[in-house]
């Protein structure tokens, strides 16, 4: 993973050599000039969020206004599509267009809105529908089945807005921190999550997390909310307190797997006490032997193991489970 010592404002959006700013104006890289767009909000500061629909229209939320503009000309004005029923202080943190439902999803404090442009209808979902006391929605993604992945202040939420069913993944399931700042999809099988304490890759089918921290090369464990971007070539960017990191998911996870293989455990000795014969048996030439026969009279036994690689011992954690005896 590469890091750039740079701090970025919230919710910038890049589209065809144009950098859209939080207030609705744009910076044209072709002419190296600032473009003032009609309908922009110069007082918006960092309270804006953007998304693009399947028709190329750009959607923008600033405070309680949901606006859009056509993609054909840079000077196309912002047109207000809807005023959101939220308090002035309850600004939008996440905006996402879902092609499957053809909806604009708007994550505000305490509330998720679903705006359907074709019918000009607005639906809302709150903590009651989520089944979790969520107060911040930081990131959104709609799946092909029209369910949602939602990054919240209480963890990663999988939410079905049609059946109102949900499942929340938190630190107890392996997430490094419950405050999710950003969310990017790696195809349809994995999700990369930036949090207040580490970066994580969630494998959807297995429901497992692979976590990365400063010791893995991150400039800082704490990430900024709303600071994430996926380039067309699949490269991912996350902004944090220590700067901006970039990486290709395939390369990052291959390095992680190589590290895991290198740090495998090797069984080096097995010892048991035979109380009937009053004898201690110890085996050290184990080779690939993985099965040991222990009987009810073998009331005392022990294993010895070692790491195959000690290049990064601080990241190693040991655990064991006796099947049929210990609980998961």
Last residue of a domain, one of 233, 261, 289: 261
In a domain? residue 82: yes
Q: Are residues 275 and 199 in the same domain?
A: no
Region 30-47: mean pLDDT is 83
In a domain? residue 322: no
Model pLDDT for residues 257-308, shown as the tens digit of each residue? 766 655 566 777 778 777 666 677 676 666 665 677 777 777 677 777 776 6
Region 33-37: mean pLDDT is 91
Q: What's the domain range around 296?
A: 265-307
Report the mean per-residue pLDDT for the chain. 85
Q: Are residues 211 and 119 in the same domain?
A: yes
In a domain? residue 320: no
pTM for this model (two decimals)? 0.78
In a domain? residue 225: yes
Q: Are residues 236 and 275 in the same domain?
A: no
Percentage of the chain beyond pLDDT 90 is 52
Q: Are residues 168 and 294 in the same domain?
A: no
Q: How many domains does the chain have?
A: 2
Q: Are residues 165 and 214 in the same domain?
A: yes
CA dist 194 to 138, 185, 285, Å? 10, 12, 45
Per-residue pLDDT, 4: 43
In a domain? residue 91: yes
On whether the CB atoms of residues 3 and 242 are closer than 8 A, the answer is: yes
Higher local confidence (pLDDT), 304 or 184:
184
Tell me: pLDDT of 10 over 70: no
Query: Which domain CATH number covers 137?
Result: 2.130.10.10
Q: Are residues 283 and 257 in the same domain?
A: no
Tell me: pLDDT of 247 over 90: yes
Tell me: pLDDT of 328 over 60: no
pLDDT band with cut points at 50, 70 and 90 for residue 50:
very high
pLDDT band with cut points at 50, 70 and 90 for residue 9:
very low
Q: Are residues 159 and 140 in the same domain?
A: yes
Q: Look at 119-133, 192-206, 277-291 and tell me which has the smallest mean pLDDT.
A: 277-291
Q: Are residues 139 and 204 in the same domain?
A: yes
In a domain? residue 9: yes
In a domain? residue 328: no
In a domain? residue 221: yes
Tell me: pLDDT of 254 over 70: yes
Per-residue pLDDT, 316: 62
What is the spatial distance between Cα 48 and Cα 62, in angstroms, rounded to a whole number?
Answer: 5
φ and ψ at 106, to 5 degrees?
-125, 115
Q: Are residues 209 and 297 in the same domain?
A: no
Tell me: pLDDT of 227 over 80: yes
Paired strand residues for 89: none
Q: Are residues 67 and 100 in the same domain?
A: yes
Q: Are residues 234 and 269 in the same domain?
A: no
On whether the CB atoms of residues 56 and 71 are closer than 8 A, the answer is: yes
What is the spatial distance between Cα 258 and Cα 177, in angstroms, rounded to a whole number?
Answer: 25
Per-residue pLDDT, 7: 37
Q: Are residues 138 and 285 in the same domain?
A: no
């Amino acid at each position: 993973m590469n890091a750039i010592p740079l701090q970025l404002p919230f919710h910038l959006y890049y589209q065809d050599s144009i950098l859209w700013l939080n207030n609705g104006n744009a910076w044209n890289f072709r002419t190296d000039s600032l473009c003032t767009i009609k309908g922009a909000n110069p007082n918006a500061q960092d309270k804006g969020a953007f998304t693009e629909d399947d028709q190329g229209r750009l959607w923008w939320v600033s405070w309680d206004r949901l606006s859009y503009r056509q993609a054909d000309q840079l000077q196309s004005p912002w047109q207000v599509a809807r005023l959101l029923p939220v308090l002035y202080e309850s600004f939008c943190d996440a905006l996402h267009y879902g092609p499957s439902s053809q909806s604009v999803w708007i994550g505000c404090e305490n509330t998720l809105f679903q705006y359907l442009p074709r019918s000009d209808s607005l639906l809302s979902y709150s903590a009651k529908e989520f089944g979790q006391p969520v107060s911040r929605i930081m990131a959104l993604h709609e799946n092909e089945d029209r369910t949602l992945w939602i990054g919240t202040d209480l963890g990663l939420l999988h939410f079905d807005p049609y059946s109102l069913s949900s499942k929340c993944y938190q630190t107890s399931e392996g997430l490094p921190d419950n405050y999710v700042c950003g969310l990017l999809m790696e195809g349809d099988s994995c999700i990369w999550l930036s949090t207040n304490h580490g970066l994580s890759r969630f494998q959807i089918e297995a429901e497992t997390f692979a976590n990365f921290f400063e010791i893995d090369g991150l400039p800082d464990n704490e990430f900024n909310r709303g600071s994430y971007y996926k380039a067309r070539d699949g490269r991912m960017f996350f902004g944090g307190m220590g700067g901006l990191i970039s990486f290709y998911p395939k390369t990052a996870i291959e390095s992680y797997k190589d590290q895991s293989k290198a740090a495998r455990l090797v069984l080096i000795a097995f010892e048991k006490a035979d109380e009937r014969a009053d004898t201690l048996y110890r085996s050290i030439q184990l080779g690939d032997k993985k099965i040991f026969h222990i009987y009810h009279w073998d009331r005392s036994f022990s294993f010895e193991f070692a790491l195959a690689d000690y290049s990064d011992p601080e990241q190693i954690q040991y655990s064991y489970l006796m099947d049929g005896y210990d609980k998961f």
